[in-house]
Amino acid sequence: MNRLIRHGLMFAGLFEVSSPALVERYNRALEHLSGKRTTLDHFHIDLSGFSPEVGDELDDMGYLNPGGCNRQIILLSTQQRNAPLLEMKFSTSATIIRDFIDANEAQLFRLTARDAVAGELQNSVYSVPHPQSLLDIRSVTVEADTTTGIVRDAAKLDTLITRFNEDPDAWWDDVLVAQMIGLARTTGDVTRAPVTFQTPNFRQDDFWTSHHGGLYVFRSVEHPAVLAALPFDASGIDMIDVTDTNAVATFFVRNGLLQPIVEGRGEAAAGILREKLEHLAIDALGHAGHLPDRTDDRALRRAMQTHADALPVAVNALGAMLAWAEGRGDWPRIDSSNPAYFHTMRAAPGPLRDLVNMVLAELAPQDFRQLHICHKPLFYARYRAMPEALKEWVAERLARDYAADKAGVWKHLYAADVPADMPKVKREGWPIANRGPWG
């Protein structure tokens, strides 16, 4: 994985913890949550406060996520919201933590100036021993406080202030006044600077989880379903085997969740197809042991010509679509039975965009750039198993074609619209399970 780290494709953007004060605050929070401490004096943490260096020291990469269901968090700074989330178990966790930081930025800024904030993402379940348990997850609440309990004490002080204001005899209650003064020494003036967190419930209708082989839950759509690598019995919701491409395509089409990644002829369309075609070729040639030593475009084209028999069927289908986009060939018919089908699709705009793109990346993992962008856990798992030559090519191509302009590449692939110039295709009688990229 060192190649990825060197190119900023892994562990990039982590928050650095190097000052003695921050290290001590982190240790107080870590001990508060788990009873453990780190002896490191310099490490990095992600959005949730997880540190790969500390995990390695403790020989426990789940030290902030025991059971993988209710993730614990350590916040040392509001700047952590710019960091990625590592060791992800639920696709919604990063959004929930960032929303919590944004909603409570002023309070967190004050509190983290002198202490760490520790807490937990509390699911509506506490463990998932069976896959059916995942369907019981309906909401997540963030529960957080400083290691010294300032938020808790502020709530107590607020209650005492209310009692003091409402009780006409409170002026003579020495015990009440002493309690208020004692709490105010740590909380400050809660009437002018409230120390409370907005902790709304975050709905969990749609999410991906790595548990039980990995599955996707879609409950907010017109036709709800679970897409699972290991299907199980579930009542009240359709179960779809994620490897059944026709069934998955039918589900997406029925719910209006897909759109073609290319919608017309032109250089923009051709560029997307050409890049995808090359990524598939690199993946196939790498696993077959035919990649050239130099990560060079010309060398790649020569290897594709020399070892054409090692290229998958999807490369030929994308090649036909590329020829059409460049005005060199006829319109190809690609439906969900074609291995190239999910390489030609992207999620339709909407709240489920990222989750749908995650499914598409899993169904078309040979496009390693899309996999890295949309499904990092699966990308890292596949990368670890790659031959060394393929690892070199993948790291170099990602550094060149993605890391240099992440926002631009994302817009190019998943947001930018290509002017439509659609061919007239007769579609009557197409079964829904065999829809093409244009429906």
* Residue 424 phi, psi dihedral angles, 5° rounding: -85, 110
What's the mean pLDDT in 111-131?
Answer: 87
End-to-end CA distance of the chain: 40
Lowest average pLDDT, out of 48-52, 87-91, 98-102, 261-265, goes to 261-265
Q: Is the pLDDT of residue 284 over 90?
A: yes
Q: Is the pLDDT of residue 217 over 90?
A: yes
Residue 183's alpha-carbon distances to 152, 153, 158, 260, in angstroms, are 10, 6, 10, 60
* Residue 195 phi, psi dihedral angles, 5° rounding: -115, 70
Query: CA 15 to CA 93: how far, in whole Å?
Result: 18
Query: CA 318 to CA 83: how far, in whole Å?
Result: 35
Share of the chain above pLDDT 90, in %: 54
Confidence (pLDDT) at 381: 95
User: Which residues sit opposite 228 in a β-bridge?
Assistant: 215, 241
DSSP 89: S
Query: CA 49 to CA 26: how far, in whole Å?
Result: 9
- Helices (H) and strands (E) counted in the chain, each on its own, are 17, 12
Burial class, 174, CB count within 10 angstroms (exposed 0-12 / middle 13-18 / buried 19+): exposed
CA-atom Rg of the chain in angstroms: 26
> Ramachandran region of residue 289, left (φ > 0), alpha (ψ -120 to 50) or beta?
left
| 3 state DSSP class of 75 | strand
At CB < 8 A and 24+ separation, what contacts does 358-363 make? 358/91, 358/208, 358/216, 359/208, 359/216, 359/227, 359/242, 359/248, 362/214, 362/242, 363/242, 363/245, 363/248
Mean pLDDT of the residues in the chain: 85
Tokens of 240: 């779809």
Confidence (pLDDT) at 422: 31
Q: Strands 258-260 and 345-347: what pairing?
A: antiparallel
User: Which residues sit opposite 17 in a β-bridge?
Assistant: 43
Kindly report the pTM of this predicted structure.
0.84
| Nearest to 273, CA basis, from 263, 258, 287, 283 | 263
147 contacts 115 by C-beta, under 8 angstroms: yes
Helix, strand, coil shares of the chain, percent, nearest 5, are: 50, 10, 40
Q: Is the pLDDT of residue 416 over 80?
A: no
Tokens of 80: 């952590």
Lowest average pLDDT, out of 146-150, 299-303, 391-395, goes to 146-150
Residue pLDDT, tens place only, 393-415: 999 999 998 888 888 888 878 76
Confidence (pLDDT) at 334: 86
Query: CA 81 to CA 209: how far, in whole Å?
Result: 21
Q: Is the pLDDT of residue 191 over 70?
A: no
Non-local CB neighbours of 78 within 8 Å, separated by 6+ positions: 101, 105, 108, 109, 112
Q: Is the pLDDT of residue 159 over 80?
A: no
Confidence (pLDDT) at 429: 32
Q: If you write DSSP's letter for every residue of 284-300 in order, what string do you get?
A: HHHHHT---SS--HHHH
Strand segments, DSSP code E, in 155-205 are: 202-203
Residue 281's alpha-carbon distances to 291, 346, 402, in angstroms, are 9, 20, 18
Residue type, 86: L
Strand segments, DSSP code E, in 147-274 are: 202-203, 206-209, 215-218, 225-228, 238-241, 258-260
Lowest average pLDDT, out of 117-121, 145-149, 156-160, 355-359, goes to 156-160
| 3 state DSSP class of 253 | helix
Q: Is the pLDDT of residue 37 over 80?
A: yes
| Nearest to 399, CA basis, from 427, 374, 368, 421 | 368
